[in-house]
Structure 1
């Protein structure tokens, strides 16, 4: 019987369509858009592998993927890991494993939900903040951005204390990070599949791409357009980050200054893989890698739950319930 591979998708078209077409040419594999409904607590996943491109936007999918992992599926990306991390945690982790990162400080929220009585509920919070020490550490220019954000939403470049305080005071309930601005000589976005398949692409985050969005890939005839030593370090650092995060699908951005690649953005469990953005050559590489990795996982013994202590307590999938069938 064919091993089933399911993909969860949102509005994107090019990547899931190409993935399904190519995956279904592989003997012994059946790939499809995963269908999710009511999920009983004793659940055996009908999919050997699930590829998650949308659960960051749909809470039900995220909960389902945890149950599917418990029920024997290999989920790309691990829903226990990625839903627990945030951008600031990523910077802390990367700095601990020897990756060059910009100087970064996490800031308390500026505002809170109405139920928070600031005089009583925030007694653990230092107030006022020591802005002098924070600014002395990060220095200007700096980037103020949400600790769990993405897509350049609510991001400000600040060049003085006045600009910083104005942007911070307008940040609402976001937890913000203040980060050293890397005035880069070059910029790389790596498309990553399976932790160690790394495709570094020259990227201009300041340009407007072909679809009108911020950021544009630069096409090269060769995969190695950086000097070899720098190319090798980018690859090695990307692999280190993926292994530390447990990500099998990611995009990692490095801002290169004075020959040093600084990890800027690297917790992206559903990275941009649109053909309109990647263009055909890079898109085909990303799709082919994902097909190869998903098929490899479907034929192996890996389960998402294998890395967790509670997996030793989970009994084999006997007597599990499937709604609509006898239990």
Structure 2
């Protein structure tokens, strides 16, 4: 029996090629069958037409509406499994995600949404604004939050439009420059001890030390002990809670850790960073986790969950620790963690060896060289090729420890 997985892609080439390679190298899986991968094209579709795919990994429909509507159709009508629900894409604009996690009691910094600086391009705006927009004191809002603070788009991504604001002058300069972007003002977590970015793929999460001020190739530090075990487990729980709540299974979460407090600041990313030249050392883990979760979902006939069942989460009571423990149980239930782990032990026990052999071999090196050539100018290619080779050799070495 053959199972077909679809990839709905934008501009990426590195991780799709890696995903296709690892799935091919795995070969048929006993009791499940073989797997094929297809890159999906965009074309007219009949709403009653049956799809050929059993699972689709989407990296495009967040901004491209035509494939988004196709995803809604195949999930609702045909039970095709999707790693990120297209029905909650609106929550990927950050604002709804902040609201939900605040209600659940997570330590999201104080956040205020302010109106547009400039009118939106809509003929009705002037009339509505004149009648209903209430004048407000931007300085008073900022002082209520306290300096320093961050101004950032409510639907941000890739650090677009983010400004650190230290005083009144910087506040007004940032607001004037925001134009037609709708902005949050958010309290800064000063003196934090660690910035963590958690990449979650299905029931697995990799928590990485993140350095946002570094160049992209150096932002993820290879550091396995930058968080205490208890704080690290809380960071995993926060990410898993967010993902289970919104039905996101391919997502990243940013948290600031200060002492024993974990502050989520960004956890709605429809297209999390999985580039080879960004993740480097962690890239093999990401591809392996994506393959394992995709195979598990297809093999166990996991079905889309359109109902978010938010009442289960909102009904949880108790202090912060008690609620966090109950949220983890709800999230683990959604991701079928025990069943997933047993499936991997039974059917995918050889994937570690397959991926390690691939990363150490010439096929992966060709992928690396090609990715660097497509990413960096000619004068920098040799330097970055050796830089990433060194990090991936370290990964291979660590797998043997």
Q: TM-score, normalised by structure 1?
A: 0.85
- Return closer, same or farther for 1:84/1:265 CA change in 2, 3 Å cut-off: closer
> How far does residue 103 in structure 1 lie from its aligned partner after superposition?
0.8
1:75-120 deviations in Å (ceiling 9; x for gaps): 1111111245421211111111122111110111122215134344
Q: Deviations over 1:188-245 (max 9, x none)?
A: 1101011x311100110111133xxxx700013x4x5411111111111111111122
How far apart, in 1, do the equivalents of 2:113 and 2:27 lie? Answer: 47
Q: Which moved more, 1:181-190 or 1:162-171?
A: 162-171
Maintained 8 Å contact 1:102/1:180:
yes
| Structure 2 partner of 1:79 | 86
In the alignment, which residue of structure 1 is the partner of 2:256?
A: 255
The answer to whether the 8 Å contact 1:100/1:261 transfers is yes
Return the alpha-carbon distance in structure 1 between the equivalents of residues 299 and 125 of structure 2. 54
SS at match of 1:206: coil
Q: Deviations over 1:143-177 (max 9, x none)?
A: 11110011111111111223212221221111100
Q: Any conservation in 2 of the 1:45–1:72 contact (CA below 8 Å)?
A: no
Please give the secondary structure, in 1, of the residue aligned with 2:280: helix
Q: How do 1:93-104 residues align onto structure 2 when only pairs under 5 Å count?
A: 93-104=100-111
User: How many angstroms apart in 2 are the aligned matches of 1:64 and 1:163?
Assistant: 44
Which deviates more from structure 2 when the two are superposed, residues 296-305 or residues 227-236?
296-305
Q: Number of residue pairs matched?
A: 300
- Does residue 218 (structure 1) correspond to residue 221 (structure 2)? The answer is yes
Partner of 2:64: 58
Q: Which runs of no fewer than 5 residues in structure 1 stay unpaired? A: 310-327
Residue 11 of structure 1: how far off its partner (Å): 1.7
Higher-helix-fraction structure: 2
Structure 1 residues 122 and 64: CA distance shift in structure 2, 3 A:
farther
> In 2, distance between residues paired with 1:306 and 1:99?
24
Instruction: Identify, as 1 or 2, the structure richer in strand.
Output: 1
Contact 2:194 2:226 in 1 (8 A): no
On the 8 A contact 2:139/2:168 being kept in 1, the answer is: no
Hey, what's the Cα distance between the residues in 2 that align with 1:144 and 1:42? Answer: 45
Report what 2:319 is aligned to.
none
Cα distance in 2 for residues equivalent to 1:252 and 1:187: 11
The aligned runs of 1:98-117 (5 Å cut-off) are: 98-111=105-118, 112-117=120-125
Q: Classify the secondary structure of the residue corresponding to 1:126.
A: coil
Q: Which structure 2 residue ranges, 5 or more long, are not aligned?
A: 310-401
Higher RCO structure, 1 or 2 (CA under 8 Å, sep 6+): 1
Report the 3-state secondary structure (helix = DSSP H, G, I; strand = E; otherwise coil) of the residue aligned with 1:67: helix
* 1:317 alignment partner in structure 2: none
TM-score calculated relative to the size of structure 2: 0.70
RMSD of aligned Cα (Å) = 2.0
